[in-house]
Each structure stands twice: as structure tokens, then as C-alpha cells.
Chain A
């Protein structure tokens, strides 16, 4: 093995761009490992771990870019470096005009003073400062960054509430504001349903389903996973809810979250009772009866939340896109090739939903993000028994882009599951929309076909597509690619999980 490297001093690219390029170049023949990243402590550790650290890196700072490639021989390694450079150069061009882009929020603001929203996806340790600056300048904040402390979150949201400005996050991946999809979001028509959500893919699934059922939204406001914790006290949830209550365009409100902290629940219910509009609540894993006892409409799952909201929005009854009978029929004509289920999810909330719906049926499920009643996987890189995995979780995304952007690891894992005789049914989500990979179905099918060829196995496969026909990906084409590969395709996670349940029951 030979290691080649190239250092570009004072050259900054965002981490996603670098990881994607590294991931793409790694696929080239003869290349063993790539590290393309800023010289941060984290990347230095990675380099050392991979035995790729060079003494030339000693004098570098986090403002310097490292391209390091390990390959079979020098020619290949050098070619890899050249390829990375080529891709970096073309990235700079596409973003360029004759003028250099601004390098700070302040500069950007002086060039676009009418900006009213700042989307922040910089490293967590800098995110709060940028968010504060945005709020002080009267701008709403979409805080995609994670690794923001809860103390910082409290400070930001207190500031945001005092100025009636949104602080969506931290770790907020999805929002649709005034019809504009932000970060990972689907193209959803406008209508009269407002959504407040502490979950990214949950918001994507609900809004996409609303669209497919013919409904539309006013706002889809992400509040970040910790908003309804005791410390934060639901500050953004309350601000958003009050605004939707007063918004003449909003007729129905959906609230999506993990069950809020007890201390917050009281205030929240009191506030919601003053709203004066119909509210559908889905506290994931909570007892629907407790919610109904408060006088609200409780949803049983994400699909149900969308259906109930559409019902209230139009006064007409909506049905699931696939009925239970239809799902049963597909299950009846399907056969698991082994004892166990494997779930390879890119969306965390969808992974949770699958665990929740299947746990009563199949007993022992393990996950890297187990819900109550499910077990922790002893080794997240090796599935045993029934296993439902969130590939977007931290342990899989260190140094790699999220699976919704870069399918490489999920595709690799798919190969592994297909080769496992114990994996009789493999389910996975295909999340469309802005921010997501443009051909996730194609990437997964390529891996599936390779897996089948290599192992000679053909486990039963099912996928759900979270998206709409207006999304940048071609929904119909994505569906066809999956179906042509012999994968059973479902419109929602709930439908796919229901299919899985029927198959597992038949397999007992």
C-alpha cells in the first residue's frame, strides 16, 4: 500500500462536500482509503487510525485542507489525488461568479440585506454564535447543526421568543416555511394544515403523505428534538403554535414529537386548548388515550396523523393509499427466505416507528437506537436476529455524510445483509426531496443486484418511498427502479411495516 497526500493551506470547504468527494473517489479501482477533510482533531484521529497520518500534517491548522489517499501503488494514489482536486475545482466554479463569495454572515448580510432567514449547518461549536448574530439582526434561524449544547439552545430560543423569531433546531433537518423547503424537505403543495415537529423524517413523512392525499400545508416548522425537554420547556413549540393559531390560513395543526417532559406537558396542553383550531397530536410512543382524554385528536402513527389532519382540513374522509387488505395480499404472495427481519433506515423517526409497530408482534428486536422494549445491538456493524437500524445515527455518520445524502455505507450494509442467510426480509426507506440523493433507488438497487450475484441469495425486499411527485427526484421512476428489481414498494413506512408484520406472522 502506498500513501499520497496533498495539502491545501487556508482552503476551506464544507464537510459534506469533502466527505462526498472522498467517498466517490474511494470507489475508484485500486483505492483503499481516502481522507479528504479539514485538518481538525477529528480528522487527525481518523488519519492516525487508518495509518495514514503524515508528519507534514503537524504544522497544519483547521483552516488547511488535507487530501490523503492510500492505494495499491503510487500511480493510483496520485491519480486519486488528482481526481479529488478536479472535483474540488469544479465545485468552486459552480458556486462562482466573478466576485468572491462572502466569507462571513456579516458579509453575506451586507450583500443581501433583505434576507430574513439564516440556514446554519456549520460545525456545532460555531453554530450558536452564528445563530445569535442572525437573531440580533432580526432574522429567523434554521439550525441544522448538531452538537450545540442545551444551554446554548436555551439562550438562543429565549432570544428568539423575545423577538418572535424562529429558532428551528438544533439538529433540525427539515422545515417548509412560506412554501420554501429548507434543508431536507419535500415539495408539498400549500393548503391549510400547519405542522410543528420535533423530528426531521417524521415531518417529511407526514407532509409528503398529506400532499399525496391531496392536502396541503401552511407551514412545517421544525423545532429540534430537545424543544419539549424540561430545560427548554417547549419554547419554540409554543411560539410556533401560537403563531399558527393566529394565522388565518391555518385551519388544522399537527404536533409531532417524542413524548414531552411531564413539566412541559401541562403548559403545552393549556396552550393548545386556547388555540381554537383542530389539533392532531402524535407523541411517538405515548398512549393515544391519554391525549384524547385532554380533548385532542391523537394519531397512532405518522400516516394516521396525515390522514386525520386531511380529514379535518376538508371535512371529508381520507383513506390510506394502500388498504390493509391490499397489503395482506402482497404479503400472501411473498415469502421470507430466512428467519429474521432487517431494517436499514436513513430516517431516525421511521426507524423508531418500525420498532414500535413491530415490537408487540415479533418480540425481540435490536437496534442501534432501541426504543423502550427493544435491545441495544452488541455490535452495530453486525446484525443478529431481528434488527432495525438507523444508519443516520452518529455511530455511522462520523466522517461520513448522512445516508440520505450519501448512500455508500447503506449500500455496503445491504450487501452484507443479503449475504446473511438469516436475513429473510430486508426493509428500507427511500427518502426523496431537496437535500437527498438524486437517485437513491438506483444506488440501492445496484447494491442489491451485486449482493444477489455475489451471494446467490435473494431475500425478500421491501421499500417505502417518502416523497411526492413534485420532488426533484422522479418519484415514478424511483418506484419503477425498485419494482423492476423485484422489491415490494409501499407509499408509507406504516404500510411497509404492516407488510413486514404480515410476512413475519406467516413465517412463524
Chain B
């Protein structure tokens, strides 16, 4: 095969950069998500079975089954979850992404993003907020009630508002947020503010009861991470543009399900390369210790895969308060990532690095050659379902993912060497 890797990767990165993810609307999962079924549970990370799931993901599955009306009690839900009546599939294989446990089911409302360049769509549920929420594995009545409110009030209001608002190009919004101290993984405050600013007048213009509109605005405002559920599918949209360019060694997916970490490579269509999800190292909220931590979980590493999150740490010095360290450390984390990427983002520029584009296009070969792993900056979930976030910090994928991917790549392309 006469494939020039440098060229293939350049094409991949160009395709990623050309993507224009725009907020199109809101839909119901069963109606808009490809392959969605009534008994299908979409989740974060690479493929996993019920038996292997960690606490937060199990809890989220239980909560989702109750929300969907497929089980009446947690005990029933647990029994049902273990049977083959319930199917599980990664969001990534359905053009979507989910934060933390990332559980998505038929009745849930989802953001719909569209790529202006290709017409492709990506999806993500709406962010519930902090504390006892489904994505941390909580399944109490309070959780279900909130999910129902989101389905019956939040989603319809936003769905009606979006067409009334100016078109929201998420790439541009993220680019602006980056210049306001966000990195759109662990810090989304500025982006959330920008989103509310764009949608607020439109929300007001819709014909829902005043109380509902006010509640919707308050809901978004009370959650600094509301935008995360848009930054993630936006990043997914961009990276999907490189799938599946023949011969390219660019990493298009990094994600975790709480048990395993999974990556995918542009030139190795549909193949998952997995390894053990690592324990996140950082600062824990008072009262929690390392024993309480669940291994790394969530599709939010898609942000790092796209040059955001940990790769843009230099743009978000405030992050260091969570991950421990100095502002210079934040800068150095970004600097290091240039060693394993092939390109620099045109859209995502970092002000205190002379507006240099963030490191874009993780090259599998460079990761292996330099034994330097992508740096992820993430929240830490309690290992017990439903307790919630216990801290934030730094984590890397296991090297095994990249070693396995390299072996598969050589097997596919370099048989004769």
C-alpha cells in the first residue's frame, strides 16, 4: 500500500479543522439517534457488559430503567439490567457522547448538532447539574423527577428557543470561551455564560409559562458545566471528520466507561483498543480519600482528543486549583502535548501562548515513540453509585491502548516489512 502517513494525517487534521459544528436543535433519542431502541442503553466509553460495570455506571443504568418505566424499583432494575432483554452500546457508535456514566435512553431529550460542512449530526443528553445526578449513578426519586422535568419542560423550551436565536456555531463559541479562561472540559463557566446569553432572548420569546422559562434560565445558570454537553458533541463532530481515513494514525476517540479506557484510530475503522481505566490523581473534596475514587469515567476525554480540556490547560490557569500545581505547570502540560500531536488548531487559540493554536491531532506513532501519554484533566466520581463528584485531577490513558493500536496498525499496513 502506498500511503504516506504524514499526508494521511495532514488530510485528517484538515478535515477536523474544516468541520463546523452548529447547534441545530433538540430531539428525543428514539427519534433522532441512529440505531436507538426502546431497550437500548447507550453509555460512555468503549463497549462493556453489565457484569463489568463500575458503581456509577450501574447506578445510572438502574436510574435509566426506572425513568423509562422498564422497572419499578431499583431491585427490579438491577435484575433486568443483567438479562439480555436490555442491550448496551457505546454512544460513540451512535454518533454521540455522554459525560461520566453518560447513560442515554429512548425517551431522553438530546442536543442535536449539525456539521455545516458535511451535514453529519452528533448528539448528547442535556447536563443535569451537580451533586446527586444520574451521570454519577444516582437513581433516587429526586433524580427521576429532575429527568422528567428536563424531558417535559427544559427540552421543549430550548427546542422552541433555538430556532428563534441566532445560529450558534459551537466551534466559535468554544474558541471564545478558551480566550475567557475555559478549557471546556473541567472549566465551562464562560462557555455556559455565552450560551445562556445567546439563548436567553429567544427563551423569553417562546410561548411557555413565565415560570417555566424562568426555571429553565435558572437551571442553566445554576450549573457551571451546562455547556459541557455541547462541547463534547462538538468535539465529536470535528473528530468524526477524520473517520476513517486510510493509513492515518490520528487518534479520533478517547473515552472511558469507568472500567476500561478505549481509543480509536482514524486508519483502523471501527476498532476499539482498550486498557484498564486509571485512577485520577488530584485534589479531593474534604472528607474523601483515594479509596473512594472510581476509576476514570466518561466520554469527556473527547475534548482532549480535539485539543481542548487538558490540552488547552494553558488557557485555563484556574484549573490548577483543582489539579494542584502552579500556573506554569498548566502551561507546561499544554506545551508537552505538542510533542505528540501533528497539528495546531486554527480555531482554538491560547492567549497566553501568543495565541498559538492548541495541540491538535494526537499521533499514535508519536505517543509510542516518545512514551508520552495524552494528558487528561477530569472530574472524579465516587465509586459508589450516586454519591457524586469527589474531586478533580489529572489522568492519562493506559499505554496499553496505544501499544495494541500500534500492533494492529502494523498488522494491517506493514505486513511485508
Contacts and interface: CB of A to CB of B under 8 A. Distances in A.
A107 B370 CA distance: 11
A63 B338 CA distance: 20
Nearest to B335: A100
B371 interface: yes
Interface residues of A, number: 5
Nearest to B336: A100
B369 interface: yes
A63 B370 contact: no
B189 to A, nearest CB: 29
B335 A63 contact: no
A274 interface: no
B370 A104 contact: yes
B339 A100 contact: yes
Interface in A79-122: 100, 103-104, 107
B339 A63 contact: no
Contacts of A104: 369-370
Contacts of B370: 103-104
Contacts of A107: 339
Nearest to A106: B369
Contacts of A100: 335-336, 338-339
Interface residues of B, number: 7
A143 to B, nearest CB: 21
Tell me what chain B mostly uses at the interface: helix, strand, loop, or mixed: helix
Tell me what chain A mostly uses at the interface: helix, strand, loop, or mixed: loop
A63 B371 contact: yes
A100 B336 CA distance: 8
Contacts of B371: 63
Interface string B357-398: 000000000000111000000000000000000000000000
A107 B335 CA distance: 15
Interface string A198-210: 0000000000000
Interface string A382-414: 000000000000000000000000000000000
Contacts of A63: 371
A100 B338 CA distance: 10
Contacts of B336: 100
Nearest to B371: A63
Nearest to B370: A103
A109 to B, nearest CB: 14
A40 to B, nearest CB: 15
Nearest to A102: B339
A481 to B, nearest CB: 44
A103 to B, nearest CB: 6
Nearest to B373: A10
B69 to A, nearest CB: 50
Nearest to A100: B335
A370 to B, nearest CB: 44
A97 to B, nearest CB: 12
B21 to A, nearest CB: 31
Interface in B319-338: 335-336, 338
A104 B335 CA distance: 16
Contacts of B338: 100
Interface in B39-68: none
A212 B336 CA distance: 49
Nearest to A61: B371
A427 to B, nearest CB: 48
Contacts of A103: 339, 370
A100 B334 CA distance: 12
B96 to A, nearest CB: 35
Interface string A285-300: 0000000000000000
Interface in B130-168: none
A230 to B, nearest CB: 32
Interface string B334-361: 0110110000000000000000000000
A63 B399 CA distance: 15
B34 to A, nearest CB: 41
B363 to A, nearest CB: 12
A103 B337 CA distance: 13
A104 B336 CA distance: 14
A107 B369 CA distance: 12
Contacts of B369: 104
B200 to A, nearest CB: 42
A107 B342 CA distance: 12
Nearest to B354: A98
Contacts of B339: 100, 103, 107
A103 B372 CA distance: 11
A107 B366 CA distance: 11
B10 to A, nearest CB: 14
A63 B370 CA distance: 11
B294 to A, nearest CB: 23
Interface in B251-308: none
A63 B336 CA distance: 16
A104 B368 CA distance: 12
Interface of B: 335-336, 338-339, 369-371
Interface of A: 63, 100, 103-104, 107
10 contacts: A63-B371, A100-B335, A100-B336, A100-B338, A100-B339, A103-B339, A103-B370, A104-B369, A104-B370, A107-B339
Given A63-B371, A103-B370, A107-B339, 7 more contacts: A100-B335, A100-B336, A100-B338, A100-B339, A103-B339, A104-B369, A104-B370
